């Protein structure tokens, strides 16, 4: 499991093991769910789930095993590892980075602090893209700013006949994407280091997708929650958050096949601006679609 590579057992406090060694699994989980809830303002269900996931990882078992063994006493080594990860979570570090993995579109992906954490809202981008791929025959797809490879791999997995190119300017991010592609056995995905379109070979695509940086520099949300730990260059898109979108759209229009689609994820308040960018570039059938929270999150347009 990926979490084994992320957990750092050497940061636990020596006295903590002695204090906790008499607690059963159930007692440990109850106490620390309360601590997580208070420290991170989590709801009861989420705090209990997070404590269970951290302890399960430390013990090398599935979370459901803990429920059936709640009266057992963990081994001292397991407590040490668990307390180390718990302290990281109490400091606000995202669960995905502590455990080293996150599920996206049914795929378990390795994630590190070099890449954004895949989020459920981005699954909308995948769903809309799949609905617009040609249903017969092979097709070429490019995912700009692929990061962990989440979108590219989801598309490649669902459509094994598609030729998917994942592009990112970060070599570290591409290494994570390559590892995910290898572990998932994805042979129809190619990865390329490029600053957006700069190094992409000549050719056209039936589909262009991107979840680029779109947070405005100085946005207060950059200092809150999981975002504090994520790579800044994958989050911030200039003064108004639209710098990278302005670079992507014009070239995308020139690289689409006739009838091909461009789909972009963006901020909750940027849909109108992105629609304007697409219209100025000559795309048709432009529309924005809402995410799970009811915010316009993905805008798409079709080449003539």
What pLDDT is recorded for position 18? Answer: 52
pLDDT in tens, 242-301: 999 999 999 999 999 999 999 999 999 999 999 999 999 999 999 999 998 999 999 999
Q: What is the pLDDT of residue 55?
A: 97
C-alpha separations of 215 from 74, 85, 112, 211, 285 in Å: 43, 29, 20, 11, 26
The pLDDT of residue 8 is 40
CA angle 216, 222, 227 (to 5 degrees): 120
**Closest C-alpha to 255, from 170, 191, 165:** 165
What is the per-residue pLDDT for 211?
A: 98
Domain at 116-302, CATH from 3.40.50.620, 3.40.50.150, 3.20.20.10, 3.40.30.10: 3.40.50.150
Alpha-carbon dihedral sign for residues 44, 84, 108, 149 = positive
pTM for this entry: 0.91
Q: Do domains 3-99 and 116-302 have the same CATH topology?
A: no
Provide mean pLDDT across the span 129-135: 95
* pLDDT tens, residue by residue, 207-249: 999 999 999 999 999 999 999 999 999 999 999 999 999 999 9
Q: Considering the chain, what percentage of its residues have pLDDT values greater than 90?
A: 89
Q: What pLDDT score was predicted for residue 136?
A: 79
- Residue predicted with more confidence, 16 or 226: 226
User: Residue ranges of the domains in the chain?
Assistant: 3-99, 116-302
Of the pLDDT bands very low, low, confident and very high (cuts 50, 70, 90), residue 21 is confident
Q: What average pLDDT does the structure give for the chain?
A: 93
- Closest alpha carbon to 191 in 214, 172, 213: 172
pLDDT for residue 205 is more than 60 = yes
Assigned fold of 3-99: Helicase, Ruva Protein; domain 3 (1.10.8)
Q: What is the pLDDT averaged over residues 192-221?
A: 97
Inform me whether the pLDDT recorded for 10 exceeds 50. no
Q: How far apart are CA 196 and CA 173, in angstroms?
A: 14
Q: Report pLDDT for 12.
A: 35
Q: For the chain, what is the HEC assignment? A: CCHHHHCCHHHCCHHHHHHHCCCCHHHHHHHHHHHHHHHHCCCHHHHHHHHHHHHHHHHCCCHHHHHHCCCCCCCHHHHHHHHHHHHHHHCCCCHHHHHCEEEECCEEEECCCCCCCCCHHHHHHHHHHHHHCCCCCCEEEEEECCCCCHHHHHHHHHCCCEEEEEEECCHHHHHHHHHHHHHHCCCCEEEEECCCCCCCCCCCEEEEEECCCCECCCCHHHHCHHHHHCCHHHCECCCCCCHHHHHHHHHHHHHEEEEEEEEEECCCCCHHHHHHHHHHCCCEEEEEEECCCCCEEEEEEECC
Average pLDDT rounded to a whole number, residues 115-136? 96
Mean pLDDT for 101-111 is: 98
Across residues 95-123, what is the average pLDDT?
Answer: 98
Check residues 6 and 38 and name the one with the higher pLDDT: 38
């Amino acid at each position: 499991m990926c979490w084994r590579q992320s957990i750092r057992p050497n940061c636990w406090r020596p006295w903590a093991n002695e204090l906790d060694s008499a607690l059963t699994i159930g007692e440990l989980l109850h106490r620390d769910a309360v601590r997580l809830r208070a420290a991170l303002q989590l709801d009861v269900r989420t705090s209990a789930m997070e404590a269970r996931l951290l302890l399960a990882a430390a013990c090398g078992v599935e979370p459901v095993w803990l429920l059936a063994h709640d009266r057992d006493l963990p081994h001292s080594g397991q407590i040490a590892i668990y307390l180390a990860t718990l302290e990281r979570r109490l400091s606000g570090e995202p669960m995905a980075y502590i455990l080293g993995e996150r599920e996206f579109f049914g795929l378990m992906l390795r994630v590190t602090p070099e890449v954004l954490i895949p989020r459920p809202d981005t699954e909308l981008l995948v769903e809309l893209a799949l609905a617009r791929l040609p249903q017969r025959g092979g097709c070429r797809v490019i995912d700009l700013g692929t990061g962990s490879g989440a979108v590219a791999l989801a598309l490649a997995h669902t459509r094994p006949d598609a030729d998917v190119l994942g592009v990112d300017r970060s070599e570290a991010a591409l290494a994570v994407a390559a590892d995910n592609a290898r572990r998932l056995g994805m042979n129809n995905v190619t990865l390329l280091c490029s600053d957006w379109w700069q190094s992409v070979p000549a050719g056209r695509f039936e589909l262009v997708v991107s979840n680029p940086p779109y947070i405005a520099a100085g946005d207060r949300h950059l200092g809150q929650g999981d975002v504090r730990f994520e790579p800044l260059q994958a989050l911030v898109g200039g003064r108004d958050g639209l710098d990278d979108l302005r670079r992507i759209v014009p070239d995308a229009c020139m690289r689409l096949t006739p009838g091909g689609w461009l789909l972009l994820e963006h901020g909750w308040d940027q849909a109108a601006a992105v629609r304007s960018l697409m219209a100025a570039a000559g795309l048709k059938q432009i529309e924005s679609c809402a995410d799970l929270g009811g915010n316009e999150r993905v805008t798409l347009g079709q080449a003539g």
